[in-house]
Amino acid sequence: APDADAQPSLQGRTVVVTAGGTREPLDPVRYLGNRSSGKQGFALAEQAAAAGAQVHLVAGITEAEPPTGHARISVERIETAEELQEAVRRRSAGADALIMAAAVADFRPADYAQAKIKKTDDGQNPVITLERNPDILADLVEHRRSSGEGPPVIVGFAAETGGGDDDPMKLAQQKLQRKGCDLLVLNQVGENLVFGRDETEIHVLASAAAQSALGESEPVSWRGTKAEAAGVVVARTAQ
């Protein structure tokens, strides 16, 4: 089996990394958003660059500033899922890998109000109707399947809490199948994982084809800093 700690080179390769959350506008001053910090995606971009790749980082709304001043990381900012999809499609053409660490809003407000939504005196509360955003990852996998074009390695992420009878690992296996990506990184959230720390626990699941390419038949687990976890993912992306 390959050495799990060996860092294969990404020299001369191009990697697209998405990070952070999307923001879906409701009116000129309001939006629907999420709590993604962007840290995991930034760590992935840094590890990929450290392994020699040219990195296109597509960053949504993030708590921290994206890495700056790195010669091999270019940063593009987006807000909505549709903008993210456009950027991912453009950047993925000719790229060697796509790592989708962004927290994409599954839904957006169906109607954008051109003017700020105001309170009214008739006692009626506004109702926000949502519509589905495109599934950027699944669409790209489908495009690659039908056209033969697209990144040879596509990596998805899943944050699962589990709960009840739902085993996070089982949910992640189902998600890997459903999305059709090559690798799926499960972030186990909640439980005894400490908030506010730069610590994380990941499990890297591979499709059947990726399993044979990697020579690994079982998911690889890692608990440590987000930088270390990113290194584990990047090592598998490079193989």
Q: Is 116 annotated as a binding residue?
A: yes
CB-nearer residue toward ligand CTP: 31 or 52: 31
Contacting ligand CTP (CB under 6 A), which of 136, 153, 186, 230? 136
Residues 102-121 that bind Ca ion (CB under 5 A): 106
For the question of residue 34 being annotated catalytic, the response is: yes
Q: Closer CB to Ca ion, residue 15 or residue 158?
A: 158
Residue 166 found at the interface with Ca ion (CB under 5 A): no
Region binding Ca ion by CB under 5 A among candidate stretches 7-15, 52-60, 98-106, 162-170:
98-106
Burial of 84 (C-beta count, 10 Å sphere; 0-12/13-18/19+): buried
Q: Is 151 in the site for ligand CTP (CB under 6 A)?
A: no
Classify burial at 180, counting beta carbons within 10 Å of its beta carbon; exposed 0-12, middle 13-18, buried 19 or more.
middle
Q: Residue 135's binding partner, choosing from Ca ion, ligand CTP, none, with beta-carbon cut-off 5 to 8 A by kind?
A: ligand CTP
Q: State in angstroms the smallest separation of the CB of 85 from ligand CTP.
A: 8
Sort strands 30-32 and 24-27 into parallel, antiparallel or unpaired: antiparallel
Q: Compute the half-sphere exposure of residue 112: CA atoms within 13 Å on the CB side of its CA.
A: 10
Please work out the total of residues on this chain that contact ligand CTP, with binding judged by CB under 6 A. Answer: 13
Q: How far is the CB of 123 from ligand CTP (least distance, A)?
A: 35
Task: From residue 8, give the alpha-carbon distance in Å to each of 3, 45, 73, 136.
Answer: 10, 15, 19, 28
Burial readout 194-227 (b: 16 or more C-beta within 10 A, e: otherwise):
eeeeeebbbbbbbbeebbeebebeebbebeeebb
Query: Rule CB under 6 A: is residue 135 a binding residue for ligand CTP?
Result: yes
Q: Which residues belong to the active site?
A: 34
Binding positions for Ca ion, rule: CB under 5 A = 106
Residues forming the annotated binding site for CTP? 106, 116, 134-137, 157, 175, 179
